[in-house]
Structure 1
């Protein structure tokens, strides 16, 4: 697809859908900007320490990422999909030795000519994870439950099922490097009987390097294996990151290509960007 066709493709978007998306993003971003500016004092952690904690999925730091994923030229109709993942991370001190790290991933989706013809906009299914992680350990790790909640507002964006299963993460951080993997396996346990059962695994190996300035690079793969239908999908996401401030609010930015591993079933190419509002203790 040429650049002219891409721009023409986006210009065809339904005006009402576009306005709804803009209002949703403005509301969410505005809310957390206000939370940030309401803090009593600036973040105590320096940029390098914030970047290190952000590279750790089970760090004891509140963060509110908005991750934007654009996939272009999907299928024979050259459709597109924009997925905005709202994924707050909130740590809770469970006891003297353990933290409970809660993590929510709620997709906000807009697509045209992908699974169905025409334009569609709405929420996808939420995944809620809880990691019990030791406060002191040579190797950082966490384990706990993962819940699939059918919050999708259109059937094409969700499974129609409640699901549950285990999730785990393990990583090592040393000399600016972070490497490890996160995994979960979910089975459906209730929901719409007319929809197919859920039996799928999510695997995310990751590698990051952060300089003392707080800038860094992150490489990860996001892979989903659907055991019921013997179907694999995945992306490779290399992004550049940096830590900065909006006034007193500490934020992290990320941007890079989004490379599908399944050809046209996921699109010819894509872009990932993110802004993360950080609230260090």
Structure 2
């Protein structure tokens, strides 16, 4: 016969396990109604005409959910890139560090999945020319649609996030190329009983002006942790460039990320 204290401990442990399982699922959902702060570092190599260039991007990506009513949420997702690049040109003129352009997305998402279990979101994506210098900015505003669809069951998460952004200026300044690009991010992952997630995705961009693809394939391992009561995930893994423009990244790179999670009470 279990003592009352033992029963309480078992129930508490079960509740913590259910909370962790739900957190692990929400951390993989781009439109989860949960505050989070992902900080993601990407490193790539073999850029430029000589193939000796390197490029790193630290993406700061706060996610803010807003409840519109009982049926709909509005999810704000911001991507602020901090860029460091060297060796992209033999004369060093492309060596620079600073802030790139911000991509701001808003997803209108139903609070409940569809009858078949799909989680959906749709809204606008806005390109904001915040780049700290000419090399790191398109120098133009952009706008277009964005959408996400995913399904989670039996430890699996699969889906796709996409957007298309058009530059709003017919004649971009400073001889910049007009923004006209499609972004596609299909993803697939599996989460174990220990809240370790093995994932694969691509973050493919098609430039309609140059008719060129950029296709990095990311392999990741993500672990859900709690440190002093603060839930977070840590992620690491290699990335391989299956396709890229001339002078773009080649071969292997890597990604590491830390995401702070703030579940809503």
TM-score bin (small chain): 0.7 to 0.9
- Indicate whether 1:61 and 2:49 are aligned: no
Residue of structure 1 in register with 2:256 after alignment? 273
In 1, Cα distance between equivalents of 2:88 and 2:129: 21
Structure 1 unmatched runs, 5+: 1-42
- Indicate whether 1:193 and 2:173 are aligned: yes
Residue of structure 2 in register with 1:121 after alignment? 97
1:4-153 map, 5 Å:
46-75=19-48, 76-114=50-88, 117-118=91-92, 119-138=95-114, 139-153=118-132
In 1, Cα distance between equivalents of 2:263 and 2:17: 7
- Could you tell me how far 1:246 is from its partner in structure 2? 2.5
The alpha-carbon distance between structure 1 residues 215 and 44, as it changes in their structure 2 partners (threshold 3 A), is closer
- Could you tell me how far 1:212 is from its partner in structure 2? 2.3
Aligned partner of 1:254 among 212, 216, 235: 235
The alpha-carbon distance between structure 1 residues 160 and 93, as it changes in their structure 2 partners (threshold 3 A), is same
In 2, Cα distance between equivalents of 1:168 and 1:45: 29
Residue of structure 2 in register with 1:222 after alignment? 203
- Could you tell me how far 1:155 is from its partner in structure 2? 1.6
47-56 or 271-280: bigger deviation: 47-56
Once the two structures are superposed, residues 160-199 of structure 1 have per-residue CA deviations (whole angstroms, 9 ceiling, x without a partner) of 1100000000011101101000000001114853322111
Give the paired residue count. Answer: 239
SS in 2 for 1:251: strand
SS in 1 for 2:23: helix
The alpha-carbon distance between structure 1 residues 116 and 178, as it changes in their structure 2 partners (threshold 3 A), is farther
Structure 2 unmatched runs, 5+: 1-15
- Indicate whether 1:202 and 2:183 are aligned: yes
Which has more helix, going by share of residues? 1
CA RMSD of aligned residues (A): 1.8
Residue of structure 2 in register with 1:8 after alignment? none
- Could you tell me how far 1:46 is from its partner in structure 2? 2.9
The alpha-carbon distance between structure 1 residues 73 and 197, as it changes in their structure 2 partners (threshold 3 A), is closer
TM-score normalised to structure 2 length: 0.85
In 2, Cα distance between equivalents of 1:209 and 1:250: 19
The alpha-carbon distance between structure 1 residues 81 and 45, as it changes in their structure 2 partners (threshold 3 A), is farther
Contact 1:100 1:133 in 2 (8 A): yes
SS in 2 for 1:171: strand
- Could you tell me how far 1:73 is from its partner in structure 2? 2.6
The alpha-carbon distance between structure 1 residues 169 and 117, as it changes in their structure 2 partners (threshold 3 A), is farther
In 1, Cα distance between equivalents of 2:106 and 2:90: 34
- Could you tell me how far 1:222 is from its partner in structure 2? 0.4
- Could you tell me how far 1:95 is from its partner in structure 2? 1.6
- Could you tell me how far 1:231 is from its partner in structure 2? 1.4
